[in-house]
Amino acid sequence: MIEFKAVTKRYPDGTVAVDSLDLAVDAGRITVFVGPSGCGKTTSLRMINRMIDPTSGTILLDGKDIRESDPPLLRRGIGYVIQQAGLFPHRTVLDNVSTVPLLTGASRRDARRRAGELLELVGLPAELGKRYPVQLSGGQQQRVGVARALAADPPVLLMDEPFSAVDPVVRDDLQQQLLRLQSDLDKTIVFVTHDIDEAIKLGDKVAVFRVGGRLAQYATPSELLAKPADDFVSSFVGRDRGYRALSFLAADGVPVGPVATTRVGTNTADAEPADGWVIVVDEENRPLGWLSTDLLSTVGTTVTAEGLVSGGSLYKVDDGNLRSALDSALSSPAGVGIAVDGSGAVVGGIKADTVIEALSRARRTGEVPA
Amino acid sequence: MNVDWPWPWLPRNVDKIAEATGEHLYLALLPVIVGLVISIPLGWAASRWPGVRLVLVPLAGVLYTIPSLALITLVPLLIGTKIIDPLNVQVPLGIYTVALLVRSVTDALLAVPREVTAAATAVGFRPTKRFLSVELPLAIPVIVAGLRVAVVSAMSLTSVGALIGIGGLGELITEGFKRNNAVEMVVAIALILLIALVLDALLLTVGKLITPWTRARQGANR
């Protein structure tokens, strides 16, 4: 556990970067520091591994004042992932990942073996190990950055806007991977971002900072969306927070209704659209797209994968939440969301009003904080 | 003026030429090496503290503009060496090397990306080790470029030492001039040029060999 006790950082010019911060970061969880630029989130992060020393106050790591530790030794026990990965350009990927084990006295052979394992863990092919960072894509570099931070198996991981410089698709990949890794590794992760969506997606708890280095709210993502502490937090949390809060509600109670499907290769005449639409599925019953009654008369005698109206998002019944259920219904051309099982096969349809009913039930039972 | 071309001088003086070449290399290269060793900590200090940089870099520029003849004749007076002490040539050459390389080293170290040094600190490098294993290696390409200029100019500047009696191949030039021996002069000039070219090529090659990452290019992506 990491505890900030009345931590203040004031620079000689009088700027206060962090103002009497009191905060406890839970062990084995992801805690996200989020806020606009100049809010002190990065300064707070960098005080944990003594890249910056506080002006006053105390930071405890597992109950021990970090000022009692020799900074380089302290840092070797704390993984650090920086924006743009901060890889050493003159070292190969494998050597980059081996850095901390070598510093802590591992033999070159052990360090390299460990580095190889970590590349695999973060989903990079072993042959990339011999490349230099410049030869990798931004997303690959960031994965190497994570591998390097994990190499000495530190209990604590600090991540300083690690995914901000990659495109949204790659960022989404990296976020999913971090969550997967964390479910196996149970590290104490402190993650800094300016992106509230990233904070809500990744954080077990989120600390919202305001300009001037003050903590505005420290809560779980669902609490933050449901009950922002003040106008600053509510405006920072932003638009659609009611809608986004739905992602924290399980969709168990949402009924999955029947839906019309027709298989590729069957006769068009056999299709029986419901409310004017039918889902075209493949041999494994996975959805390919929609056909309307009007389109059915134009596509010829056999249903093919051509000429379909593409569908909206899919709702996975096994791990779905109210947000994905509602979104599937709203984004579908037919007004019915497609519900699929773990293998991706169609199991039924979701209507928006049934999601809203489930939401009001959740409100009545107190599942939604009022 | 009429010059003689006594070609037989060449085979008769192979030993003398070899000795002058050896002396030339010793006179020129030792100061370059010492100059490099001095420039690295100076450049490090200049890259680290803006105040030091503000003094050192312009000072180096001024030193480099002092005419070599002036420096070579002044230095023995200043450091109190005897008339034909090699140091009379080597100290000025060392000064030129430092003047040239301080700027290269400073620029090279300043060009190391901040996130790389921050990452090095964050993973637990101590300052000295960080300098030696991260910052200095990354500065090599720029330092080598400066070193190539320093070596080539040391080769030619050493010849000026002939005017105070210590000049390696330069002495063959002055002697040839006095004796009206064009062969002696041409051989010395050709050797100076050749050595400069060879050393330059050697540095270029070694510089590339020890910085394989600079040849790794983007686009090798999967």
Tens-digit pLDDT profile for residues A271-310: 778 788 888 888 888 888 888 888 877 777 788 877 788 8
| Residue among A66, A88, A192 with most chain B CBs within 10 A, to mutate | A88
Second-level CATH architecture of B14-209: Orthogonal Bundle (1.10)
Our CA-based measurement puts residue A171 at a distance from the nearest CA of chain B, in whole angstroms, of 18
Given a cut of 60, whether residue A175 has pLDDT beyond it is yes
- Judgement on whether residues A333 and A278 belong to the same structural domain of the protein: yes
Q: What's the CATH number where A291 sits?
A: 3.10.580.10
* Tokens 């009611």 sit on residue: A242
| Lowest mean per-residue pLDDT among A128-132, A224-228, A307-311 | A307-311
Residue A228 domain-assigned (yes or no)? yes
Given a cut of 60, whether residue A354 has pLDDT beyond it is yes
Per the structure block, which two tokens stand in for A27? 């062990």
Per the structure block, which two tokens stand in for B68? 């070599």
Those residues with Cβ within 8 angstroms of residue A341's Cβ, 6 or more apart along the chain or in another chain: A316, A317, A318, A347
Residue contact A80–B123, C-beta within 8 A? yes
Using CA atoms, how far residue A351 sits from A6, A153, A216, A322, A334, in Å, is 50, 47, 38, 12, 10
- Judgement on whether residues A84 and A132 belong to the same structural domain of the protein: yes
C-alpha B203/C-alpha A169 separation (Å) is 45
Using CA atoms, how far residue B65 sits from A191, B88, B97, B100, B104, in Å, is 53, 18, 12, 10, 16
Task: Pick the residue from chain A with its C-alpha nearest to B122.
Answer: A75
Share of chain A above pLDDT 70, in %: 99
C-alpha A338/C-alpha A358 separation (Å) is 17
Our CA-based measurement puts residue A104 at a distance from the nearest CA of chain B, in whole angstroms, of 9
Provide the pLDDT confidence category of residue A313 given band limits of 50, 70 and 90.
confident
- Judgement on whether residues A185 and A283 belong to the same structural domain of the protein: no
| Lowest mean per-residue pLDDT among A88-92, A303-307, B118-122, B170-174 | A303-307
| Residue among A90, A124, A130, A131 with most chain B CBs within 10 A, to mutate | A90
Given a cut of 60, whether residue B219 has pLDDT beyond it is no
- Judgement on whether residues A204 and A336 belong to the same structural domain of the protein: no
pLDDT tens, position by position, A196-209: 889 988 999 999 99
Tell me the pTM: 0.76
- Judgement on whether residues A163 and A266 belong to the same structural domain of the protein: no
Residues of B in contact with A158 (CB under 8 A): 122
Q: What's the CATH number where A98 sits?
A: 3.40.50.300
Provide the pLDDT confidence category of residue B1 given band limits of 50, 70 and 90.
low
Those residues with Cβ within 8 angstroms of residue B52's Cβ, 6 or more apart along the chain or in another chain: B45, B46
Q: How many CA atoms lie within 13 A of B111 on its CB side?
A: 15
What's the pLDDT score for residue B162? 83
Residue contact A80–B220, C-beta within 8 A? no
Q: Hey, is the C-beta of A100 within 8 angstroms of any chain B C-beta? A: yes
Residue contact A88–B216, C-beta within 8 A? no
Choosing from A238, A270, A290, the residue where a domain stops is: A238
- Judgement on whether residues A215 and A296 belong to the same structural domain of the protein: no
Residues of B in contact with A87 (CB under 8 A): 116, 119
Per the structure block, which two tokens stand in for B83? 């008339």
Dump the DSSP string for B72-90: HHHHHHHHT--TT-THHHH
Residue A265 domain-assigned (yes or no)? yes
Task: Pick the residue from chain B with its C-alpha nearest to A84.
Answer: B115
- Judgement on whether residues A232 and A269 belong to the same structural domain of the protein: no
Q: Which domain holds residue A267?
A: 261-362
| Lowest mean per-residue pLDDT among A313-322, B102-111, B189-198 | A313-322
- Judgement on whether residues A198 and A66 belong to the same structural domain of the protein: yes
What's the pLDDT score for residue A337? 87
- Judgement on whether residues A127 and A219 belong to the same structural domain of the protein: yes
Average pLDDT for B133-151: 93
Structural domains counted in chain A: 2
- Judgement on whether residues A68 and A166 belong to the same structural domain of the protein: yes
Average pLDDT for A167-187: 90
Given a cut of 50, whether residue A55 has pLDDT beyond it is yes
C-alpha A99/C-alpha A335 separation (Å) is 54
What's the pLDDT score for residue A366? 67
Residues of B in contact with A126 (CB under 8 A): none
| Residue among B117, B121, B123, B129 with most chain A CBs within 10 A, to mutate | B123
Residue A107 domain-assigned (yes or no)? yes
Residue contact B123–A73, C-beta within 8 A? no
Choosing from A207, A238, A269, the residue where a domain stops is: A238
Q: Hey, is the C-beta of A93 within 8 angstroms of any chain B C-beta? A: no
| Lowest mean per-residue pLDDT among A24-33, A149-158, A239-248, A282-291 | A239-248
Q: Hey, is the C-beta of A169 within 8 angstroms of any chain B C-beta? A: no
- Judgement on whether residues A158 and A292 belong to the same structural domain of the protein: no
Q: Hey, is the C-beta of A137 within 8 angstroms of any chain B C-beta? A: yes
Our CA-based measurement puts residue A167 at a distance from the nearest CA of chain B, in whole angstroms, of 17
Residue contact B213–A134, C-beta within 8 A? yes
Residues of A in contact with B118 (CB under 8 A): 51, 82, 86
C-alpha A172/C-alpha A181 separation (Å) is 14
Provide the pLDDT confidence category of residue A369 given band limits of 50, 70 and 90.
low
Average pLDDT for B185-193: 91
Q: How many CA atoms lie within 13 A of A27 on its CB side?
A: 7
Residue A249 domain-assigned (yes or no)? no
What's the pLDDT score for residue A368? 62
| Lowest mean per-residue pLDDT among A69-78, A80-89, A136-145, B213-222 | B213-222
Residue A367 domain-assigned (yes or no)? no
Q: Hey, is the C-beta of A200 within 8 angstroms of any chain B C-beta? A: no
Our CA-based measurement puts residue B216 at a distance from the nearest CA of chain A, in whole angstroms, of 7
- Judgement on whether residues A273 and A201 belong to the same structural domain of the protein: no
Residues of A in contact with B123 (CB under 8 A): 75-76, 80, 99-100, 103, 148-149
Our CA-based measurement puts residue A109 at a distance from the nearest CA of chain B, in whole angstroms, of 19
Average pLDDT along chain A: 88
Provide the pLDDT confidence category of residue A351 given band limits of 50, 70 and 90.
confident
What's the pLDDT score for residue B222? 40
Instruction: Determine contact, residues B185/B176, Cβ cutoff 8 Å.
Output: yes
Given a cut of 70, whether residue A367 has pLDDT beyond it is no
Task: Pick the residue from chain A with its C-alpha nearest to B113.
Answer: A86
Given a cut of 60, whether residue B220 has pLDDT beyond it is no
Residues of B in contact with A103 (CB under 8 A): 123-125
